[in-house]
Amino acid sequence: METRADTYLWAIRMYKSRTLAGDAIKGGKVKLNGSNFKPSHAVKIGEIYTMSIGDTKKIIEVVSLIDKRGSYEIAKQHYIDKTEPKIKSEKLPSAFFKVNIKRDKGEGRPTKKDRRDLSDFGWGE
Calculate the dihedral angle through the C-alpha atoms of 89, 93, 94, 99, rounding to the nearest 10 degrees.
150
Decide if 104 is inside a domain: no
For the domain that residue 47 is a member of, what is the CATH number? 3.10.290.10
pLDDT of residue 8 exceeding 70, the answer is: yes
- The answer to whether residue 65 is domain-embedded is yes
- Between 12 and 96, where is the model more confident? 12
The rounded distance, in Å, linking the Cα atoms of 15 and 17 is: 6
**pLDDT band at residue 117, thresholds of 50, 70 and 90?**
confident
Beta-bridge mates of residue 124: none
- The domain total for the chain is 1
**Nearest CA to 50 among 34, 65, 67?**
34
**What pTM was estimated for this model as a whole?**
0.67
Residue 121 maps to a domain: no
How does DSSP classify residue 121?
T
Domain boundaries, position 75: 5-81
Instruction: Inform me whether the pLDDT recorded for 3 exceeds 70.
Output: yes
> Which amino acid is residue 83, in one-letter code?
T
- Amino acid occupying residue 28: G
Share of the chain above pLDDT 90, in %: 50
79 or 121: which carries more pLDDT confidence? 79
